[in-house]
Amino acid sequence: MRTTLDLPEELLKEAMRVTNIRTKTQVIVIALEELIRKSKIAELKEFRGKVDLDVDLEKIRGRKCRF
């Protein structure tokens, strides 16, 4: 899909430099994928401590309790 964007040139060059990505298109695609990934992780973090999995980690790991 072709889109015309007005991006700060220095910001784009910096992103390309730090990621070692050679094309503007690829650096934008990677940035969008990373933004989506971080957003999904943030959504998952909201469930921390709210989901009871009823899992015995010691049994799964094959360990015996020392106590």
Does the structure show a pLDDT above 80 at 65? no
Mean pLDDT for the chain? 89
Q: Work out the average pLDDT over 19-48.
A: 94
pTM above 0.85, yes or no: no
Sorting pLDDT into bands at 50, 70 and 90, what band is 28? very high
Structure-model confidence comparison of residues 64 and 49, the more confident one: 49
Neighbours of 28 (CB within 10 A): 17
- The string of DSSP codes covering 3-66 is ------HHHHHHHHHHHT---HHHHHHHHHHHHHHHHHHHHHHTTTTT------HHHHHT----
* pLDDT value for 8: 97
